[in-house]
């Protein structure tokens, strides 16, 4: 167990309690073992504890560790792409202290035994906190609901069929209604599969010019409109993952205005890139949902700014090199996102769309509150899960240097501002950037 650690000269930001204290030698955060003992702008006015290790943050930001509500660690079943160990190291390097991993593994997390396997592996690795979704349907691709009560009791955070939509309206309605008994959240990849089938990028002028089959934005909005109607019918809790279109943002906005229990997230590719990143068949930019138009990108930014979009997730979907270095139509969807999550979220700050506390809320307190996780905030008595970062330090996204097994990113070579200095979980430093 760690001893006392005094973090001084840090700008302390906690979005959950709206704390934003300027850096000073007399203020900061004091941790003792696994917990935060005290925090504030003047807690060291009477002197620092003699028995505490002193960490001088040099004016950097100290905030709750990031909470990434959508990652794929590929274990069990595809450990050559990522596993809980490599994914946890990648998360730590990105300032992420807690993740929620998708259930579309092999076998899928539709049974308590698989859920317990993931939890056991995370305990063995002992880096970031790994939570898990369970599937909505048996196998993640059927019309038979899983035993939600048993899975919830065993630790399932919420329910989703991962990167597959629940296509059968009756099945989703039953799931929304059944989940109410456990106050459980249903998370949906909102995409009408018959419209998107065979498509590899956003449908439009660019896909036509490149000769690639397109995925129309209506694939997202048709499914969202149907799902919202089912929420209206059942009263269930519904969350739309990686919203990517202007119409999709408008659907969520209208549902919230109606008072429905509807939330959503997006990912950095949908507020920081558009379809032009595909370039000349650049497979690193082949994502699901696909990169959209510039109008869509701007609508996603607006949705983040006005609160329509609740959270930002990395949508970390790692692929090995052999799966991406193929002709565009044959390459797999997905990219590595954990290690670039913070810097890309900070673009919203540097471009004037969000304040720093508002941006941090999207990746800390908001996902924690939504999923009812014991993370994502700084307060006396809570777990000492922290990230220290320089929000202005210029750097370049270089996937070849990623800790993740996956070296694929649509942001390859992008200049950004913001670098993680230290990541702490339960008082233990699990990542420290080389000087």
The residues assigned a catalytic role are 315
Residue by residue, DSSP assigns 52-80 as: SEEEE-TT-EEEEPEEEEEE---TTT-TT
Strand blocks (E) in 255-345: 262-266, 311-312
Q: Which two tokens stand for residue 166?
A: 């629940």
- The tokens for 361 are 């809320």
CA dist 88 and 85 (Å) reads 5
Euclidean distance between CA atoms 30 and 62, whole angstroms: 12
> Closest Cα to residue 16, out of 307, 364, 266?
364
Asked if the peptide bond before residue 76 counts as cis, ω within 30 degrees of 0, the response is yes
Chain-centroid distance, C-alpha 395 = 21
Paired strand residues for 344: none
DSSP tag of 127:
S
Q: Report whether 363 contacts 342 (CB < 8 A).
A: yes
306 burial (CB, 10 Å; 0-12 / 13-18 / 19+) is: exposed
- Please state, in angstroms and rounded to a whole number, the distance separating the CA atoms of residues 106 and 78: 7
Classified as helix, coil or strand, 393 is: strand
Nearby residues of 352 by Cβ (< 8 Å), 6 or more positions away: none
Q: Got the DSSP string for 81-98? A: T--HHHHHHHHHHTTEEE
Determine the Cα–Cα distance for residues 272 and 416; give it in Å rounded to an integer.
Answer: 11
Nearest to 69 by CA among 265, 283, 240, 227: 265
């Amino acid at each position: 167990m760690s001893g006392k650690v005094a973090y001084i000269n840090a700008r302390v930001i906690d979005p959950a309690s709206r704390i934003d204290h300027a850096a000073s030698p007399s203020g900061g955060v004091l941790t003792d073992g696994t917990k935060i003992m005290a925090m504030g702008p003047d807690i060291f006015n009477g002197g620092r504890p003699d028995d505490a290790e002193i960490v001088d943050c040099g004016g950097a930001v100290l905030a709750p560790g990031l909470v990434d509500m959508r990652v794929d660690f590929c274990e069990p079943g595809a450990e050559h792409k990522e596993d809980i160990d490599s994914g946890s190291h990648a998360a730590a390097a990105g300032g992420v202290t807690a993740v929620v991993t998708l259930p579309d593994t092999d076998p899928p997390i539709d049974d308590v035994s698989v859920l317990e396997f993931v939890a056991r592996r995370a305990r063995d690795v002992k880096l970031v906190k790994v939570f898990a979704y369970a599937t909505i349907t048996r196998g993640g691709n059927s019309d038979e609901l899983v035993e939600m009560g048993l899975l919830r009791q065993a630790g399932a955070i919420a329910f989703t069929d991962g990167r597959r939509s629940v296509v059968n309206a009756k099945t989703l309605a039953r799931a929304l209604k059944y989940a109410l008994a456990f106050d459980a959240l249903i998370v949906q990849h909102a995409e009408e599969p018959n419209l998107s089938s065979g498509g590899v990028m956003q449908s439009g002028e660019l896909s036509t010019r490149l000769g690639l089959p397109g995925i129309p934005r209506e694939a997202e909005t048709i499914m969202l409109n149907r799902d919202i109607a089912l929420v209206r019918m059942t009263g269930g809790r519904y969350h739309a993952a990686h919203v990517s279109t202007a119409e999709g943002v408008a659907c969520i906005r209208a549902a919230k205005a109606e008072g429905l229990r509807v939330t959503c997230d997006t990912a950095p590719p949908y507020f920081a890139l558009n379809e032009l990143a595909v370039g000349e068949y650049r497979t690193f930019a082949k994502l699901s949902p696909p990169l959209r138009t510039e109008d869509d990108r701007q609508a996603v930014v607006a949705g983040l700014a006005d609160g329509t979009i609740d959270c930002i997730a990395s949508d970390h979907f790692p692929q090995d090199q052999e799966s991406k270095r193929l002709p565009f139509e044959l390459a797999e969807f997905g990219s590595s996102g954990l290690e670039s999550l913070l810097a890309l979220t900070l673009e919203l700050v540097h471009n004037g769309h969000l304040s720093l506390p508002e941006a941090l809320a999207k990746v800390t307190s908001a996902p924690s509150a939504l999923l009812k996780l014991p993370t994502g905030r700084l307060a006396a008595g809570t777990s000492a899960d922290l990230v220290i970062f320089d929000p202005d330090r210029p750097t370049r996204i270089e996937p070849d240097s990623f800790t993740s097994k996956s070296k694929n990113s649509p942001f390859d070579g992008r200049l950004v501002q913001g670098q993680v200095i230290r990541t702490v979980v339960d008082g233990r430093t699990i990542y420290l950037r080389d000087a």
